[in-house]
Amino acid sequence: MAHHRRRVIVVGTGLGGLLTGAFLARRRHSVSFVEAQSLIGGRFTHIDYQGFAVPTGAFHAFPGGVRGHLFHCLCKVGVHVPLVEPAPSVHVATEGQLLPLHLDMTRSQSSELRKRMGVYRRGRVIRSSLSMLVGGMMGRDIPAAEGMRRIGGTEAGVRLLDHLTKFSLSVPAEEASAVELLRSIRSQRFGRDGFLVHGSGDMVTKLRTASESRGATFRTATPVRRIVVDGGRARGVEIEGGELLEADLVIANAGARRTLEMLGDAAPQDMIDRVGRLRSACGFTHAVRSRRRMHEHSSIEITLDLEHIAGIMPVSNLSPFLCPEGWHFSLAYQWLDPERDAQAQLEAGRGELRSHLGDDVDLMNTACYYGRNPTANIAQMIGQHGKDRPPAQLPGIDGLYLVGHDVRGYGTAAELVGESCLRLWRTLAKA
């Protein structure tokens, strides 16, 4: 593929689509981005709300920091963004204490946290973790909560893991995959979580600029009606209004379900059935502001004593550029149980935030995500992770590739997007 200039259409400008389009434009292909929304970035950008950088999904976070797949992707497309990597990445708030938590669960933890979690025997942790990884390679998986118990974790440790999986994967620990978590930690190379100093929107803008500098074009507010398939090969797309855009390659970054809808009769029936059984992620994000400082640290705060709020990110402590002068700004995440009343859960979560941060805080914005843009369309849980996710190339259709969070791979949040990009790029480089 590197020796032939090809026409490429990227459907959707989420993080995976922007990265892949930038990669192909850098390799001198003719790239056209088509986006249904009026803004680009999907769930990895932000909007300016009264001077506050309110995210459309991801919390300006950068999983893995400079050691992760996402940073590697940006380097490969020549885009550089300033990051801050707080140490530790996480503080656990419990019983009036703030206990540091590092990615390596056997080192550098406070003695109090090790005691509460029950994870302090290094040999047992390593043996149990290796056993779970080998089991995963053989098709055997267990809930992350059970994995925590196998390495000696207490029920307090399981509760902490439950908050972590809800915050990072939007699923409880009883449904999250132990193998997924272990492979995610390994893929991040035990690095710290990073934070985008100028916000996720700044990275999106730089990716767009990099692509446009190499001849790429962008069309926003342009929904794709269908992906044109002829003779078992994708030939382009038809947009609303009936205009046909021809292409040699189509990169779909609209999610697996939406991609199958756009394929219509050309979609493989077994893939339709398979994706139709997969569960979507769901949750609430709360944007909180105050005139006073709400946190005395710069780490993600896992609120172990709260039932509904999984974690809080102190945005203004990490960067002064994402809110107006004189204000402090935080983002909180709450998992939504689809089997319970959503409004009651919302009110309970908002009440917990006021109790935890103070009655004077302003909950200025709450967004609910439930299987629709810009949330993750396929939740990362047992039976829906790694090889159980849709492949990058659908069987029987050449010239069409999927990229993004819904695609086969491992990693938490945006790190999964980074891994799916690197996998796809290796395939495209050989094509």
State residue 381's pLDDT score.
86
pLDDT-derived band at 126, boundaries 50, 70, 90: low
Q: How confident is the model at residue 421 (pLDDT cuts 50, 70, 90)?
A: very high
Confidence check: pLDDT of 132 > 80: no
Phi/psi for 32 (5° steps) reads -125, 125
Q: Which residue has the tokens 């390994």?
A: 186
Tokens of 328: 């402090």
- State percent of the chain over pLDDT 90: 63
- In words, the CATH class of domain 282-370 is alpha beta
Among 9, 139, 107, 16, which Cα is nearest to 405's? Answer: 16
- Quick check: 36 pLDDT over 80? yes
Domain with CATH 3.50.50.60 in the chain: 7-83+199-278+378-430
pLDDT at 383: 85
Query: Among 101-110, 180-189, 269-278, 414-423, which is the least confidently predicted range?
Result: 101-110
The answer to whether 11 touches 224, Cβ cutoff 8 Å, is: yes
What is the rounded average pLDDT of the residues 255-268? Answer: 94
DSSP designation for 409 = B
> Is residue 120 classed exposed, middle or buried when 0-12, 13-18 and 19+ CB atoms within 10 A define those classes?
middle
**1 pLDDT exceeds 70?**
no
Quote the CATH superfamily of domain 7-83+199-278+378-430.
Answer: FAD/NAD(P)-binding domain (3.50.50.60)
- Write out the residue limits of the CATH 3.90.660.50 domain(s) in the chain: 282-370
Comparing 18-27, 125-134, 328-337, 402-411, which segment has the lowest mean pLDDT? Answer: 125-134
Mean pLDDT of 166-178: 90
Q: What is the mean pLDDT of the chain?
A: 89
User: For the chain, how big is the Rg over CA atoms in Å?
Assistant: 21
- pLDDT for res 280: 85
Whether 331 has a pLDDT exceeding 50, the answer reads yes
Which pair of tokens denotes residue 61? 């976070």
Alpha helical stretches, state H, 122-177: 122-137, 144-150, 155-169
pLDDT of 87 over the 70 cut: yes
Label residue 345 by pLDDT band (50, 70, 90): very high
Residues forming beta bridges with residue 55, ordered by sequence position: 46
- Asked whether the predicted pLDDT for residue 104 surpasses 70, the reply is no
Helices 269-276 & 256-263 angle (0-180, nearest 10): 150
